[in-house]
Structure 1
């Protein structure tokens, strides 16, 4: 009929919906979270090993000789440790300054000495034995406006000290009486030949290989090492400072041996001290305690001087090193006081200075604060 709507179909065709994709497996959606326990174990593994070594030694050998050695530390011994620490710290800071100069980063000697004292105290007080150096590197890099060069300066400064120790050990261990004298003599020739062969192979590969980006980076890094550590301008000073610093560590070890009651001659103590210093470089310690005590106990026992005496000497050495680093605690306290916003020195009247000037003056309380001048990066100007 006209005016009547056409009838609707009985069933309208339906459009099928596309099948929804299957949810991805949980393993593909997100990586499994790491267990915090495993991360904490990796972080504190070195500290745990150091505590275990020290505890095992004290349990096996007893604490009688150790406590007797600690009781013998008197005022004169403390003053000697502070005096030796002053010389070694100033020379180490000078070495750091020379390396920084090779990297074209200014570092005043006063600021370097204060920061080095603080790093030594943090190394002795905190687990791991390197956190003070890490803080020193980051602080200097940030203040200089170049974190990479700041970290590199600290790394190269520490490498210079390790090179001096390695050279001295290679000269002393095969010649002076020590538990490793025979082994050291047997290893000198193979190590020398291996080093010469490695240098020859590296030189041949470098001469016959086309230049590449990686080779360019390696050449740049080697050039920086050569300029910082072996140049005519820096090399003599770094060698002299490293020799004096090493001599200071050896003198502290001899003093610790005398305090602990050992009457062994200096010629017999020097190679044992070298072994102890090598063990201190292992990152498995608590402020230096741990492998040093183990190696010293073994060395003294093998030399016929008594393993318990070796533990006592190593612990007394650690205590004297901590005493020598105590000026770093003063530096840390002074800087924390200067950085306190409630400190009267940090308060600046807004009536006299604007907001930017006030912030600049407040930040100048930090020893590594400076304004860039003449296009130079920010550098530490005061302690």
Structure 2
């Protein structure tokens, strides 16, 4: 149903439209100058951090699967997470890699429903922490700027992301409830076992916090290499802005967040008294760093193997 409503070409077209619209309102030559000022060593360091991000995310997935009594070797989890990350970067919607990861794991598992739920719950854990961090830092930034109403009004991307996620989740739950209450009970049971029970909640929040920290660390390394900050308060303001970009990327309407992320940067950076070209350049640098660091996943796509359960 969702595939028919959002054909792949439409998301590619929307991504291009968002990027062109953002470029229309900016000085593109300044954006290129900002990109040229990025430090290659810092870009390489950001890619190393992305490796840590995949390792911790794969471990979180393995832990979640274990809580549901589904076997998943760590090496396999890392391999599949790389593949999913790569697919999320090159396919429309930003979630097809995770769908493929759940499907491949279920093929080699006797507990297919548990394998699917493990991916869903692992992603839910990360989204919960990311939204909390973004909203917390965003509120701090609004207080610092003394323009709470203005910041909230211009956080359209972030607010839209939360609304879209809530609507999608409620819609899916409504469909599942209509089709069979038994599945809803099974999903609630698995969420309680793998996410909300003790000590799972501590492990999930802690590991997800590390993953979110790696997202922000990639932004921070790029910003340091470009000389975007010189004092702690300025650094925290930039991290707050970058966390809002991550929240905006949750809107599943483009390819890997491209266009949505850059448009949000063009709107958010002026709120902190910073040039929009700087925010867009940082956004583009982040997207390229994540895309390049996900390339090992292409190798596993070619191999065509699926994990054994």
Task: State whether TM-score is above 0.5.
Answer: yes
Query: Does structure 1 residue 237 correspond to structure 2 residue 203?
Result: yes
Q: Would you say 1:318 and 2:274 are equivalent positions?
A: no
Q: Give the superposed CA RMSD.
A: 2.8
Matched, 1:368 2:278: no
Q: Does the C-alpha gap of structure 1 residues 80 and 131 become closer, same or farther in structure 2, counting only changes over 3 Å? A: same
Residues 130-169 of structure 1: pairs in structure 2 closer than 5 A: 130-169=95-134
CA distance 1:327–1:43, shift in 2 (3 Å): closer
Q: CA deviation at 1:77?
A: 2.5
TM-score, length-scaled by structure 2? 0.80
What residue number does 2:56 align with?
91
Aligned-partner Cα distance in 2 for 1:255–1:83 = 11
Report deviation, 1:368: 1.5
SS at 1:107's partner residue? coil
Q: Structure 1 181/240 Cα, relative in aligned 2: closer, same or farther at 3 Å?
A: farther
Offset of residue 263 of structure 1: 2.8
Give the deviation of 1:137 after TM superposition.
Answer: 1.2
**Structure 1 residues 312 and 153 mapped into 2: Cα distance closer, same or farther (>3 Å)?**
same
Which protein has the larger Cα radius of gyration, Structure 1 or Structure 2? 1
Is the contact between residue 253 and residue 317 of structure 1 (CA under 8 Å) also seen in structure 2? yes
Residue 240 of structure 2: aligned partner: 271
Instruction: Map 1:327-338; keep pairs closer than 5 Å.
Output: 327-333=296-302, 335-336=303-304
Partner of 1:46: 11
**TM-score (structure 1 length as normaliser):** 0.65
User: What is the CA–CA distance in structure 1 between the aligned matches of 2:61 and 2:212, rounded to whole Å?
Assistant: 15
Cα gap change, 1:105 to 1:78, in 2 (>3 Å): same
Q: Is the 8 A contact 1:49 1:285 kept in 2?
A: yes
Count of aligned pairs: 278
Distance 1:185 1:308, change over 3 A: closer
Mapped partners of 1:100, 1:180: distance in 2: 45
Does the Cα contact within 8 Å between 1:257 and 1:313 map onto a contact in 2?
A: yes
Q: Choose the corresponding residue for 1:65, options 14, 18, 30.
A: 30
Contact 2:79 2:300 in 1 (8 A): yes
CA deviation profile, 1:226-260 (whole Å, cap 9, x unmatched):
11112224222212110110111011112233445
Structure 1 unaligned spans of 5+: 1-37, 188-212, 337-365, 370-378
More displaced, 324-333 or 305-314? 324-333
Q: CA deviation at 1:141?
A: 1.2
Gaps of 5+ in 2: 154-178
Q: Evaluate the alpha carbon distance shift between residue 259 and residue 180 of structure 1 in structure 2; reply closer, same or farther with a 3 A threshold.
A: farther
Higher helix share: 2
Separation of aligned partners in 2, 1:368 and 1:164: 28
Summarize the Cα distance change of 1:124–1:183 in structure 2 as closer, same or farther, 3 Å threshold: same
Q: Residue 117 of structure 2 contacts residue 190 of structure 2 at CA under 8 Å; is this kept in 1?
A: no
User: How many angstroms does 1:185 deviate by?
Assistant: 10
Aligned equivalents of 1:59 and 1:184: distance in 2? 23
Query: Whole-Å Cα distance in 2 between the matches of residues 145 and 59 of structure 1?
Result: 53
